[in-house]
Structure 1
Amino acid sequence: MNSLFQLSSLSVDEIQHLLDVAEQCRQGRFIDSEKGKIVANLFFEPSTRTQYSFNTAEEKLGMKVINFNAQASSMQKGETFYDTVKTFESFGIDAVVIRNRQDEYYKQLQGRINIPILNAGDGKKDHPTQSLLDLMTIRQEFGHFDGLKIAIVGDVKYSRVAHTNIEVMQRLGMQCFISGPEEYRDPQYDYIDFDQAVKDMDVIMLLRVQHERHEQAMSLTQEEYHARYGLTLERVKAMKDTAIIMHPAPFNRGVEIADEVVECRKSRIFKQINNGVFVRMAVLKRAMEGR
Protein backbone atom coordinates (compact mmCIF):
# COMPACT_ATOMS: atom_id res chain seq x y z
CA MET A 1 0.00 0.00 0.00
CA ASN A 2 1.69 3.17 -1.23
CA SER A 3 0.94 5.77 1.41
CA LEU A 4 3.17 8.83 1.63
CA PHE A 5 3.84 10.34 5.03
CA GLN A 6 7.44 11.63 4.80
CA LEU A 7 9.94 12.00 1.97
CA SER A 8 12.60 10.74 4.37
CA SER A 9 11.06 7.27 3.94
CA LEU A 10 11.80 7.31 0.19
CA SER A 11 15.18 6.64 -1.39
CA VAL A 12 16.86 9.15 -3.71
CA ASP A 13 16.02 6.86 -6.64
CA GLU A 14 12.35 6.76 -5.64
CA ILE A 15 12.25 10.54 -5.38
CA GLN A 16 13.88 10.97 -8.79
CA HIS A 17 11.37 8.48 -10.25
CA LEU A 18 8.44 10.47 -8.85
CA LEU A 19 9.90 13.60 -10.45
CA ASP A 20 10.23 11.74 -13.75
CA VAL A 21 6.57 10.69 -13.60
CA ALA A 22 5.58 14.26 -12.71
CA GLU A 23 7.40 15.49 -15.83
CA GLN A 24 5.51 12.95 -17.91
CA CYS A 25 2.27 14.25 -16.39
CA ARG A 26 3.32 17.80 -17.33
CA GLN A 27 3.75 16.60 -20.92
CA GLY A 28 0.15 15.35 -20.98
CA ARG A 29 0.56 11.68 -20.21
CA PHE A 30 -1.72 9.69 -17.87
CA ILE A 31 -4.85 11.83 -18.43
CA ASP A 32 -7.84 9.75 -17.21
CA SER A 33 -5.49 6.86 -16.35
CA GLU A 34 -7.18 6.38 -12.94
CA LYS A 35 -10.75 6.72 -14.18
CA GLY A 36 -13.30 5.34 -11.74
CA LYS A 37 -11.08 5.54 -8.66
CA ILE A 38 -12.45 7.61 -5.76
CA VAL A 39 -10.34 9.82 -3.49
CA ALA A 40 -11.38 11.95 -0.51
CA ASN A 41 -9.56 15.17 0.39
CA LEU A 42 -9.76 15.58 4.17
CA PHE A 43 -8.39 19.01 5.08
CA PHE A 44 -8.60 19.89 8.76
CA GLU A 45 -6.57 23.07 8.20
CA PRO A 46 -7.12 25.88 5.66
CA SER A 47 -5.48 25.43 2.26
CA THR A 48 -5.70 26.83 -1.24
CA ARG A 49 -2.74 25.57 -3.27
CA THR A 50 -2.38 22.09 -1.75
CA GLN A 51 -6.07 21.22 -1.53
CA TYR A 52 -7.10 22.49 -4.93
CA SER A 53 -4.02 21.30 -6.79
CA PHE A 54 -4.71 17.83 -5.40
CA ASN A 55 -8.28 18.32 -6.59
CA THR A 56 -7.05 19.36 -10.05
CA ALA A 57 -4.61 16.43 -10.19
CA GLU A 58 -7.39 14.00 -9.28
CA GLU A 59 -9.68 15.43 -11.96
CA LYS A 60 -6.93 15.19 -14.61
CA LEU A 61 -6.43 11.52 -13.70
CA GLY A 62 -10.16 10.92 -14.15
CA MET A 63 -10.76 10.21 -10.46
CA LYS A 64 -13.97 10.96 -8.60
CA VAL A 65 -13.33 13.53 -5.88
CA ILE A 66 -14.90 14.06 -2.47
CA ASN A 67 -13.96 17.29 -0.67
CA PHE A 68 -14.58 17.02 3.06
CA ASN A 69 -15.78 19.99 5.11
CA ALA A 70 -14.82 19.52 8.76
CA GLN A 71 -17.01 22.43 9.88
CA ALA A 72 -20.11 20.75 8.44
CA SER A 73 -19.29 17.23 9.63
CA SER A 74 -20.05 15.03 12.61
CA MET A 75 -16.80 16.18 14.16
CA GLN A 76 -18.92 19.10 15.37
CA LYS A 77 -20.89 16.46 17.33
CA GLY A 78 -17.79 14.98 18.91
CA GLU A 79 -16.71 12.39 16.32
CA THR A 80 -12.97 11.72 16.52
CA PHE A 81 -10.41 12.27 13.78
CA TYR A 82 -9.78 8.52 13.53
CA ASP A 83 -13.48 7.68 13.27
CA THR A 84 -13.91 10.30 10.55
CA VAL A 85 -11.13 8.77 8.44
CA LYS A 86 -12.40 5.23 9.15
CA THR A 87 -15.86 6.30 7.95
CA PHE A 88 -14.46 7.39 4.58
CA GLU A 89 -12.57 4.11 4.26
CA SER A 90 -15.87 2.31 4.96
CA PHE A 91 -17.48 4.10 2.01
CA GLY A 92 -15.17 2.08 -0.25
CA ILE A 93 -12.97 4.92 -1.51
CA ASP A 94 -9.51 4.20 -2.89
CA ALA A 95 -7.35 6.77 -1.04
CA VAL A 96 -7.45 9.75 1.31
CA VAL A 97 -5.46 12.98 1.19
CA ILE A 98 -5.14 14.48 4.68
CA ARG A 99 -3.89 17.76 6.13
CA ASN A 100 -3.96 18.15 9.90
CA ARG A 101 -2.55 20.65 12.41
CA GLN A 102 -1.22 17.80 14.57
CA ASP A 103 2.38 16.68 14.10
CA GLU A 104 2.53 13.11 12.74
CA TYR A 105 -1.26 12.70 12.86
CA TYR A 106 -0.85 9.64 10.63
CA LYS A 107 0.68 7.54 13.41
CA GLN A 108 -2.78 6.96 14.89
CA LEU A 109 -3.98 5.69 11.49
CA GLN A 110 -1.11 3.36 10.55
CA GLY A 111 -2.16 -0.29 10.75
CA ARG A 112 -5.79 0.72 11.24
CA ILE A 113 -6.67 2.37 7.91
CA ASN A 114 -6.25 0.03 4.97
CA ILE A 115 -6.21 2.44 2.03
CA PRO A 116 -3.37 4.74 0.94
CA ILE A 117 -2.98 7.93 2.97
CA LEU A 118 -1.27 10.91 1.33
CA ASN A 119 0.09 13.49 3.74
CA ALA A 120 -0.85 17.00 2.60
CA GLY A 121 0.92 18.57 5.58
CA ASP A 122 1.14 17.69 9.28
CA GLY A 123 1.71 20.41 11.87
CA LYS A 124 5.21 21.77 11.56
CA LYS A 125 6.79 18.41 10.64
CA ASP A 126 6.37 17.37 6.99
CA HIS A 127 4.94 18.49 3.67
CA PRO A 128 6.15 15.87 1.16
CA THR A 129 4.30 17.02 -1.97
CA GLN A 130 5.36 20.64 -1.47
CA SER A 131 8.96 19.50 -1.30
CA LEU A 132 8.53 17.40 -4.44
CA LEU A 133 7.18 20.35 -6.41
CA ASP A 134 10.07 22.49 -5.15
CA LEU A 135 12.51 19.81 -6.31
CA MET A 136 10.77 19.55 -9.66
CA THR A 137 11.10 23.31 -10.16
CA ILE A 138 14.80 23.30 -9.24
CA ARG A 139 15.54 20.33 -11.50
CA GLN A 140 13.77 22.02 -14.42
CA GLU A 141 15.87 25.13 -13.84
CA PHE A 142 19.33 23.65 -13.28
CA GLY A 143 19.07 20.08 -14.57
CA HIS A 144 20.60 18.66 -11.37
CA PHE A 145 20.80 19.10 -7.59
CA ASP A 146 24.37 18.27 -6.66
CA GLY A 147 26.36 21.28 -5.45
CA LEU A 148 23.50 23.80 -5.66
CA LYS A 149 23.20 26.25 -2.77
CA ILE A 150 19.85 27.21 -1.27
CA ALA A 151 18.97 29.62 1.53
CA ILE A 152 15.58 29.17 3.19
CA VAL A 153 14.67 32.51 4.73
CA GLY A 154 12.18 33.37 7.43
CA ASP A 155 10.14 31.31 9.86
CA VAL A 156 12.20 28.12 9.65
CA LYS A 157 11.44 26.95 13.19
CA TYR A 158 7.74 26.43 12.53
CA SER A 159 7.95 25.50 8.84
CA ARG A 160 7.15 21.95 7.69
CA VAL A 161 8.30 23.06 4.23
CA ALA A 162 11.76 23.95 5.53
CA HIS A 163 12.15 20.78 7.58
CA THR A 164 11.09 18.52 4.71
CA ASN A 165 13.14 20.35 2.09
CA ILE A 166 16.40 20.50 4.02
CA GLU A 167 16.38 16.75 4.75
CA VAL A 168 15.77 15.68 1.16
CA MET A 169 17.85 18.42 -0.49
CA GLN A 170 20.90 17.47 1.54
CA ARG A 171 20.47 13.84 0.49
CA LEU A 172 20.34 15.00 -3.13
CA GLY A 173 23.65 16.84 -2.73
CA MET A 174 22.48 20.42 -2.21
CA GLN A 175 24.02 22.78 0.34
CA CYS A 176 21.28 24.17 2.58
CA PHE A 177 21.40 27.30 4.72
CA ILE A 178 18.83 29.21 6.73
CA SER A 179 18.42 32.91 7.40
CA GLY A 180 15.95 35.19 9.14
CA PRO A 181 15.06 36.48 12.61
CA GLU A 182 16.83 34.78 15.51
CA GLU A 183 13.52 33.84 17.14
CA TYR A 184 12.59 31.69 14.12
CA ARG A 185 15.93 29.98 13.49
CA ASP A 186 16.47 26.27 14.03
CA PRO A 187 19.90 25.69 15.60
CA GLN A 188 20.39 22.33 13.85
CA TYR A 189 20.86 24.10 10.48
CA ASP A 190 23.67 26.31 9.12
CA TYR A 191 22.84 30.03 9.38
CA ILE A 192 23.85 32.65 6.80
CA ASP A 193 23.42 36.42 6.84
CA PHE A 194 20.54 37.31 4.52
CA ASP A 195 22.37 39.90 2.42
CA GLN A 196 25.27 37.48 1.99
CA ALA A 197 22.84 34.73 0.99
CA VAL A 198 21.35 36.97 -1.68
CA LYS A 199 24.78 37.26 -3.30
CA ASP A 200 25.91 33.64 -2.94
CA MET A 201 22.92 31.35 -3.34
CA ASP A 202 21.54 29.60 -6.41
CA VAL A 203 18.08 29.54 -4.83
CA ILE A 204 16.50 31.95 -2.37
CA MET A 205 13.40 30.39 -0.85
CA LEU A 206 11.29 32.74 1.23
CA LEU A 207 8.86 31.66 3.94
CA ARG A 208 5.76 33.29 5.34
CA VAL A 209 5.83 34.10 9.06
CA GLN A 210 3.39 31.54 10.46
CA HIS A 211 1.67 33.63 13.10
CA GLU A 212 -0.99 30.94 13.64
CA ARG A 213 1.64 28.56 15.03
CA HIS A 214 3.27 31.05 17.42
CA GLU A 215 2.65 31.28 21.12
CA GLN A 216 3.60 34.96 21.16
CA ALA A 217 3.69 37.80 18.65
CA MET A 218 6.71 38.43 16.43
CA SER A 219 9.15 40.91 17.97
CA LEU A 220 9.56 42.80 14.67
CA THR A 221 6.93 44.92 12.97
CA GLN A 222 6.09 43.96 9.40
CA GLU A 223 8.00 47.04 8.19
CA GLU A 224 11.09 46.04 10.22
CA TYR A 225 10.89 42.47 8.94
CA HIS A 226 10.71 43.68 5.34
CA ALA A 227 13.68 45.99 5.82
CA ARG A 228 15.87 43.27 7.32
CA TYR A 229 14.71 40.06 5.63
CA GLY A 230 12.37 41.05 2.81
CA LEU A 231 13.43 40.35 -0.77
CA THR A 232 13.34 43.76 -2.41
CA LEU A 233 14.22 44.78 -5.95
CA GLU A 234 17.55 46.11 -4.70
CA ARG A 235 18.39 42.72 -3.21
CA VAL A 236 17.23 40.94 -6.37
CA LYS A 237 19.78 43.01 -8.33
CA ALA A 238 22.53 41.56 -6.10
CA MET A 239 21.59 37.94 -6.90
CA LYS A 240 23.61 35.76 -9.25
CA ASP A 241 22.47 35.91 -12.88
CA THR A 242 21.30 32.30 -12.81
CA ALA A 243 19.76 32.40 -9.31
CA ILE A 244 16.02 31.96 -8.79
CA ILE A 245 13.42 32.99 -6.22
CA MET A 246 10.99 30.51 -4.69
CA HIS A 247 8.20 30.61 -2.11
CA PRO A 248 5.79 27.83 -1.00
CA ALA A 249 3.02 30.44 -0.64
CA PRO A 250 0.78 31.96 0.48
CA PHE A 251 3.07 34.96 0.43
CA ASN A 252 2.65 38.29 2.17
CA ARG A 253 3.50 41.07 -0.25
CA GLY A 254 5.49 43.80 1.43
CA VAL A 255 6.65 41.55 4.28
CA GLU A 256 8.93 38.68 3.16
CA ILE A 257 8.73 39.69 -0.51
CA ALA A 258 8.19 43.02 -2.23
CA ASP A 259 5.11 43.30 -4.40
CA GLU A 260 7.16 43.95 -7.55
CA VAL A 261 9.39 40.89 -6.89
CA VAL A 262 6.58 38.30 -6.78
CA GLU A 263 6.42 38.04 -10.58
CA CYS A 264 9.85 39.37 -11.53
CA ARG A 265 12.15 37.65 -14.02
CA LYS A 266 13.85 35.51 -11.38
CA SER A 267 10.68 34.43 -9.62
CA ARG A 268 9.49 30.85 -10.05
CA ILE A 269 6.65 31.10 -7.53
CA PHE A 270 3.78 30.52 -9.95
CA LYS A 271 5.79 27.84 -11.76
CA GLN A 272 5.99 26.02 -8.42
CA ILE A 273 2.21 26.21 -8.11
CA ASN A 274 1.81 24.83 -11.62
CA ASN A 275 4.24 21.99 -10.89
CA GLY A 276 2.23 21.10 -7.80
CA VAL A 277 -0.51 19.64 -9.98
CA PHE A 278 1.89 17.30 -11.80
CA VAL A 279 3.71 16.19 -8.65
CA ARG A 280 0.39 15.34 -7.02
CA MET A 281 -0.67 13.41 -10.11
CA ALA A 282 2.52 11.35 -9.75
CA VAL A 283 1.94 10.72 -6.04
CA LEU A 284 -1.69 9.71 -6.68
CA LYS A 285 -0.61 7.31 -9.44
CA ARG A 286 1.90 5.74 -7.05
CA ALA A 287 -0.83 5.35 -4.43
CA MET A 288 -3.09 3.56 -6.92
CA GLU A 289 -0.49 0.98 -7.96
CA GLY A 290 -1.86 -2.47 -7.19
CA ARG A 291 -5.34 -1.28 -6.24
Structure 2
Amino acid sequence: MSNKNKLDLPTSLSKNSSMRLDLWTWKEVEKYLVNCKGIILPIGSTEQHGPTGAIGTDAMTAEAVAREVGIRTGVLVTPTQPYGMAEHHLGFPGTMSLRSSTLQKLIHDLLISLVMHGFQRIFIINGHGGNIASIKAAFSEVYNTASSRHLPVAKSLRFKLANWFMSPEVFRQARALYGEREGQHATPSEIALTLHLEPSLLAKQSELPDPAPAGPIYTYKDFRQRYPDGRMGSDPFLAKAEDGEMFLDKAASALSNDLIDFLKET
Protein backbone atom coordinates (compact mmCIF):
# COMPACT_ATOMS: atom_id res chain seq x y z
CA MET A 1 0.00 0.00 0.00
CA SER A 2 1.29 3.47 -0.85
CA ASN A 3 2.21 5.93 1.89
CA LYS A 4 -0.75 8.15 0.95
CA ASN A 5 -2.99 5.49 2.50
CA LYS A 6 -1.17 5.44 5.83
CA LEU A 7 -1.91 7.91 8.60
CA ASP A 8 0.77 10.34 9.73
CA LEU A 9 1.25 9.34 13.36
CA PRO A 10 3.92 10.47 15.83
CA THR A 11 7.15 8.51 15.45
CA SER A 12 6.78 6.91 18.87
CA LEU A 13 3.43 5.43 17.79
CA SER A 14 4.18 4.62 14.15
CA LYS A 15 7.05 2.38 15.25
CA ASN A 16 4.49 0.13 16.93
CA SER A 17 3.70 -1.76 13.73
CA SER A 18 1.20 -4.08 15.41
CA MET A 19 -1.31 -1.24 16.03
CA ARG A 20 -2.90 -3.45 18.70
CA LEU A 21 -4.89 -1.68 21.40
CA ASP A 22 -4.25 -4.53 23.84
CA LEU A 23 -0.47 -3.92 23.65
CA TRP A 24 -0.68 -0.15 24.16
CA THR A 25 -0.86 1.92 27.34
CA TRP A 26 -3.60 4.47 27.98
CA LYS A 27 -1.04 7.24 27.54
CA GLU A 28 -0.23 5.98 24.04
CA VAL A 29 -3.92 5.83 23.16
CA GLU A 30 -4.36 9.38 24.42
CA LYS A 31 -1.53 10.56 22.18
CA TYR A 32 -2.94 8.61 19.21
CA LEU A 33 -6.32 10.34 19.59
CA VAL A 34 -4.69 13.72 19.03
CA ASN A 35 -3.93 12.69 15.43
CA CYS A 36 -6.55 10.04 14.63
CA LYS A 37 -10.12 9.45 15.77
CA GLY A 38 -10.45 6.12 13.97
CA ILE A 39 -10.26 2.57 15.30
CA ILE A 40 -10.93 -0.94 13.96
CA LEU A 41 -13.01 -3.49 15.87
CA PRO A 42 -12.86 -7.08 14.56
CA ILE A 43 -15.76 -9.42 15.31
CA GLY A 44 -16.31 -13.06 14.41
CA SER A 45 -18.10 -16.09 15.77
CA THR A 46 -17.36 -19.38 17.52
CA GLU A 47 -19.27 -21.94 15.51
CA GLN A 48 -19.00 -25.16 13.54
CA HIS A 49 -17.45 -24.95 10.08
CA GLY A 50 -18.17 -28.38 8.72
CA PRO A 51 -16.33 -31.59 9.55
CA THR A 52 -12.89 -30.21 8.63
CA GLY A 53 -13.11 -26.49 9.45
CA ALA A 54 -11.98 -24.85 12.69
CA ILE A 55 -14.69 -23.68 15.08
CA GLY A 56 -12.83 -20.38 15.44
CA THR A 57 -12.74 -19.68 11.69
CA ASP A 58 -14.84 -16.50 11.71
CA ALA A 59 -12.94 -14.91 14.59
CA MET A 60 -9.52 -15.96 13.27
CA THR A 61 -10.14 -14.53 9.82
CA ALA A 62 -11.67 -11.25 11.02
CA GLU A 63 -8.77 -10.72 13.39
CA ALA A 64 -6.14 -11.45 10.73
CA VAL A 65 -7.71 -9.07 8.22
CA ALA A 66 -8.19 -6.36 10.86
CA ARG A 67 -4.60 -6.52 12.07
CA GLU A 68 -3.27 -6.40 8.52
CA VAL A 69 -5.47 -3.40 7.77
CA GLY A 70 -4.19 -1.76 10.95
CA ILE A 71 -0.57 -2.25 9.90
CA ARG A 72 -1.20 -0.94 6.38
CA THR A 73 -3.14 2.14 7.45
CA GLY A 74 -1.73 2.98 10.88
CA VAL A 75 -5.17 2.68 12.48
CA LEU A 76 -5.49 1.15 15.93
CA VAL A 77 -7.13 -2.30 16.27
CA THR A 78 -9.10 -3.49 19.31
CA PRO A 79 -9.07 -7.08 20.58
CA THR A 80 -11.37 -9.39 18.63
CA GLN A 81 -14.92 -10.09 19.80
CA PRO A 82 -14.95 -13.89 19.20
CA TYR A 83 -18.63 -14.65 19.87
CA GLY A 84 -21.49 -13.83 17.53
CA MET A 85 -25.07 -14.70 16.69
CA ALA A 86 -24.77 -18.36 15.68
CA GLU A 87 -27.90 -19.90 17.17
CA HIS A 88 -28.62 -21.81 13.96
CA HIS A 89 -25.35 -23.74 14.47
CA LEU A 90 -26.15 -24.91 18.00
CA GLY A 91 -26.99 -28.39 16.72
CA PHE A 92 -23.22 -28.96 16.37
CA PRO A 93 -20.96 -29.48 19.41
CA GLY A 94 -18.54 -26.65 20.15
CA THR A 95 -20.69 -23.83 18.84
CA MET A 96 -21.07 -20.96 21.33
CA SER A 97 -23.68 -18.37 20.44
CA LEU A 98 -25.06 -15.07 21.68
CA ARG A 99 -28.68 -14.18 21.16
CA SER A 100 -29.19 -11.41 18.66
CA SER A 101 -30.37 -9.06 21.41
CA THR A 102 -27.33 -9.89 23.53
CA LEU A 103 -24.91 -9.25 20.67
CA GLN A 104 -26.64 -5.96 19.92
CA LYS A 105 -26.24 -4.81 23.52
CA LEU A 106 -22.63 -6.00 23.66
CA ILE A 107 -21.69 -4.08 20.50
CA HIS A 108 -23.54 -1.03 21.83
CA ASP A 109 -21.55 -1.07 25.07
CA LEU A 110 -18.20 -1.59 23.32
CA LEU A 111 -18.85 1.24 20.89
CA ILE A 112 -20.05 3.63 23.58
CA SER A 113 -16.87 2.91 25.55
CA LEU A 114 -14.76 3.96 22.56
CA VAL A 115 -16.95 6.97 21.79
CA MET A 116 -16.59 8.25 25.36
CA HIS A 117 -12.81 8.39 24.86
CA GLY A 118 -13.17 10.49 21.73
CA PHE A 119 -13.16 7.96 18.90
CA GLN A 120 -15.39 9.23 16.09
CA ARG A 121 -14.86 6.74 13.26
CA ILE A 122 -15.30 3.09 14.23
CA PHE A 123 -14.73 0.52 11.49
CA ILE A 124 -16.01 -2.99 12.28
CA ILE A 125 -14.42 -5.84 10.34
CA ASN A 126 -16.80 -8.78 10.51
CA GLY A 127 -16.22 -12.44 9.72
CA HIS A 128 -19.72 -13.88 10.20
CA GLY A 129 -22.87 -13.17 8.20
CA GLY A 130 -25.13 -13.91 11.17
CA ASN A 131 -23.75 -10.81 12.95
CA ILE A 132 -24.76 -8.27 10.33
CA ALA A 133 -28.30 -7.46 11.46
CA SER A 134 -27.32 -7.12 15.14
CA ILE A 135 -24.34 -4.88 14.36
CA LYS A 136 -26.42 -2.53 12.23
CA ALA A 137 -29.09 -2.36 14.92
CA ALA A 138 -26.40 -1.54 17.49
CA PHE A 139 -25.16 1.34 15.31
CA SER A 140 -28.58 2.94 15.46
CA GLU A 141 -28.74 2.53 19.21
CA VAL A 142 -25.32 4.07 19.76
CA TYR A 143 -26.16 7.10 17.62
CA ASN A 144 -29.22 7.61 19.81
CA THR A 145 -27.32 7.05 23.06
CA ALA A 146 -24.55 9.48 22.10
CA SER A 147 -27.14 12.10 21.21
CA SER A 148 -29.26 11.63 24.32
CA ARG A 149 -26.18 11.83 26.55
CA HIS A 150 -25.03 14.97 24.73
CA LEU A 151 -21.60 13.49 24.15
CA PRO A 152 -19.22 15.97 22.47
CA VAL A 153 -18.62 13.69 19.46
CA ALA A 154 -22.29 12.87 18.83
CA LYS A 155 -22.65 15.01 15.71
CA SER A 156 -19.43 13.79 14.07
CA LEU A 157 -19.86 10.12 15.02
CA ARG A 158 -19.78 7.54 12.20
CA PHE A 159 -19.72 3.73 12.15
CA LYS A 160 -19.09 1.41 9.23
CA LEU A 161 -19.47 -2.36 8.85
CA ALA A 162 -17.06 -4.19 6.54
CA ASN A 163 -17.63 -7.91 5.94
CA TRP A 164 -14.26 -9.03 4.62
CA PHE A 165 -15.66 -12.10 2.84
CA MET A 166 -18.15 -9.96 0.92
CA SER A 167 -15.65 -7.48 -0.51
CA PRO A 168 -15.90 -7.59 -4.33
CA GLU A 169 -12.22 -8.50 -4.75
CA VAL A 170 -12.49 -11.50 -2.43
CA PHE A 171 -15.86 -12.59 -3.82
CA ARG A 172 -14.65 -12.52 -7.44
CA GLN A 173 -11.49 -14.46 -6.62
CA ALA A 174 -13.41 -17.10 -4.66
CA ARG A 175 -15.81 -17.63 -7.57
CA ALA A 176 -12.92 -17.79 -10.04
CA LEU A 177 -11.15 -20.46 -7.98
CA TYR A 178 -14.05 -22.54 -6.72
CA GLY A 179 -17.13 -21.65 -8.75
CA GLU A 180 -20.35 -23.00 -7.28
CA ARG A 181 -18.31 -25.18 -4.93
CA GLU A 182 -17.57 -22.07 -2.86
CA GLY A 183 -21.02 -22.55 -1.27
CA GLN A 184 -22.33 -20.42 1.58
CA HIS A 185 -20.87 -21.86 4.79
CA ALA A 186 -17.56 -23.58 5.60
CA THR A 187 -16.43 -22.15 2.27
CA PRO A 188 -13.05 -23.00 0.75
CA SER A 189 -12.12 -19.29 0.73
CA GLU A 190 -12.49 -18.84 4.49
CA ILE A 191 -10.97 -22.25 5.20
CA ALA A 192 -8.01 -21.35 2.96
CA LEU A 193 -7.35 -18.28 5.08
CA THR A 194 -7.35 -20.36 8.28
CA LEU A 195 -4.89 -22.79 6.69
CA HIS A 196 -2.59 -19.86 5.97
CA LEU A 197 -2.93 -18.56 9.52
CA GLU A 198 -2.68 -21.91 11.33
CA PRO A 199 -0.71 -24.59 9.42
CA SER A 200 -1.67 -27.29 11.93
CA LEU A 201 -5.16 -27.23 10.41
CA LEU A 202 -3.79 -28.70 7.18
CA ALA A 203 -3.77 -32.13 8.82
CA LYS A 204 -7.55 -31.98 9.22
CA GLN A 205 -8.33 -31.40 5.55
CA SER A 206 -9.72 -34.37 3.65
CA GLU A 207 -11.90 -35.02 0.65
CA LEU A 208 -15.57 -35.08 1.55
CA PRO A 209 -18.76 -36.34 -0.10
CA ASP A 210 -20.93 -33.84 -1.93
CA PRO A 211 -22.43 -31.32 0.52
CA ALA A 212 -26.10 -30.57 0.98
CA PRO A 213 -27.07 -27.74 -1.37
CA ALA A 214 -27.26 -24.24 0.07
CA GLY A 215 -30.73 -23.16 1.10
CA PRO A 216 -32.73 -21.43 3.85
CA ILE A 217 -31.76 -21.11 7.51
CA TYR A 218 -34.34 -21.56 10.28
CA THR A 219 -33.90 -23.24 13.68
CA TYR A 220 -30.77 -25.10 14.75
CA LYS A 221 -32.65 -28.42 14.54
CA ASP A 222 -33.79 -27.67 11.02
CA PHE A 223 -30.27 -26.58 10.08
CA ARG A 224 -28.79 -29.86 11.31
CA GLN A 225 -31.40 -31.79 9.32
CA ARG A 226 -30.86 -29.81 6.09
CA TYR A 227 -27.06 -29.68 6.36
CA PRO A 228 -26.04 -32.84 8.26
CA ASP A 229 -22.28 -32.17 8.31
CA GLY A 230 -22.57 -28.39 8.67
CA ARG A 231 -21.65 -27.42 5.10
CA MET A 232 -23.94 -25.44 2.83
CA GLY A 233 -23.00 -26.29 -0.74
CA SER A 234 -19.28 -25.88 -0.01
CA ASP A 235 -16.23 -28.01 -0.73
CA PRO A 236 -13.51 -26.95 1.77
CA PHE A 237 -11.23 -29.71 0.42
CA LEU A 238 -10.41 -27.27 -2.39
CA ALA A 239 -8.84 -24.83 0.08
CA LYS A 240 -5.08 -24.24 -0.06
CA ALA A 241 -2.93 -22.21 2.31
CA GLU A 242 -1.44 -20.21 -0.57
CA ASP A 243 -4.96 -19.21 -1.60
CA GLY A 244 -5.53 -18.03 1.95
CA GLU A 245 -2.52 -15.75 1.79
CA MET A 246 -3.92 -14.24 -1.40
CA PHE A 247 -7.37 -13.76 0.16
CA LEU A 248 -5.79 -12.00 3.14
CA ASP A 249 -3.95 -9.61 0.85
CA LYS A 250 -7.02 -8.88 -1.29
CA ALA A 251 -9.26 -8.34 1.73
CA ALA A 252 -6.72 -6.14 3.51
CA SER A 253 -6.09 -4.04 0.40
CA ALA A 254 -9.78 -3.48 -0.28
CA LEU A 255 -10.69 -2.72 3.33
CA SER A 256 -7.67 -0.46 3.82
CA ASN A 257 -8.86 1.71 0.95
CA ASP A 258 -12.41 1.68 2.35
CA LEU A 259 -11.14 2.65 5.80
CA ILE A 260 -9.05 5.59 4.59
CA ASP A 261 -12.02 6.89 2.60
CA PHE A 262 -14.22 6.42 5.67
CA LEU A 263 -11.82 8.42 7.86
CA LYS A 264 -11.88 11.27 5.35
CA GLU A 265 -15.68 11.52 5.27
CA THR A 266 -17.16 14.73 6.57
**Short-chain TM bin:** 0.3 to 0.5
Which is strand-richer, 1 or 2? 1
Q: What's the TM-score once normalised by structure 2's chain length?
A: 0.47
Q: Between Structure 1 and Structure 2, which shows a larger proportion of helix residues?
A: 2
